[in-house]
Structure 1
């Protein structure tokens, strides 16, 4: 079998895997009650992407029942972390509205912008940290903050990756059919690389 044929088969497996992730995520969200289904379903997709980065063959044949069981496992913890992250984001939005309408101070806006970027980047790492590590729930925010501080290049790469994905989706609307795995790919990939790097440093020390 030639390299071109092998590459085509591999590409087909990746595309099928991404389509399945999107389909399973969508069904799972409704299965768990829409509002309470978003975070455990997303955590399950992140977990499968982590495993796929390590060995695609391990997860390419994932079945709906396996996805559902994983979602049930993540249901409570992922929702707690997800809703805490949501309310923190909501508070930041309210702060921005107050700042823009009432304060109107350029220096304060710059400070608030930098603070917002730190918080949002930390929140982006929360679910990947939850999927990767076992620790008390409150410790995931500390771990995410630590990961953000130690992986600034990766954090920047995540935002650049999201911009690229958004641009590709605009240019090729067919990609909007699989928005969840597509937008999670840069986030999970760079989070995964950051975690591996820190874990190797911890072992070497």
Structure 2
């Protein structure tokens, strides 16, 4: 059987990332951004998860559309829960800045910053967990928080890789158009998959 050479595989990899990024943008816009952003993101992670763990030859377009439709409602529910939690932290930060007691203000600002960093790290796990496991809604948020702490090596690796990607995008903004969200999601999904315990273990907890 013919085996692809490394440069053919690299070319396929790049093409698939570009295609996925185009689909993510297109279906986000299809949902008028407000309703399309989270279903498109879930569909993106679902395709990448299948691509990484099951089959590199996954029919990307068909799989993306299928997951976008199937997860449209639930993706918006979990997406906006995560968004509202973030907005709550932002509003808390704005309120704390108006406190006149300087010592209390510094203490609360530092506490919110620590919680905010933990929140951002946990968010990186939410979508990979959603496409990999079948849980009740709040379990995704619970396990995202648990994995952020329980898998420190993978968490540090994920944050480092995400930082590198964002830095590359700042240095070369032209990369954002072809690879923006798809490369970011690929790295997050790839590292997150290393953090996942067996499904049986999670289902029994």
TM-score w.r.t. length of structure 1? 0.86
d(CA) in 2 for partners of 1:146, 1:58 = 33
Residue by residue over 1:52-105, the C-alpha shift from the partner in whole angstroms, topping out at 9 and shown as x without a partner, is 22245232x422x43212101111111100000001000101111122332543
1:72 is matched with which residue? 69
- Aligned 8 A contact 2:47 2:63 in 1: no
d(CA) in 1 for partners of 2:157, 2:129 = 17
- Aligned 8 A contact 1:78 1:127 in 2: no
Q: Where do residues 138-153 of structure 1 align in structure 2 (5 Å cutoff)?
A: 138-153=138-153
Q: What are structure 1's unaligned runs of at least 5 residues?
A: none
d(CA) in 1 for partners of 2:141, 2:23 = 27
1:87 is matched with which residue? 84
- Aligned 8 A contact 2:169 2:175 in 1: yes
Matched, 1:31 2:30: yes
Tell me how many residue pairs correspond in the alignment.
199
2:158 is matched with which residue? 158
d(CA) in 2 for partners of 1:120, 1:52 = 25
- Aligned 8 A contact 1:51 1:58 in 2: no
Q: Which has the higher helix share?
A: 1
Alignment partner of 2:76: what SS? helix
1:182 is matched with which residue? 183
d(CA) in 2 for partners of 1:200, 1:30 = 34
Q: Where do residues 120-131 of structure 1 align in structure 2 (5 Å cutoff)?
A: 120-131=120-131
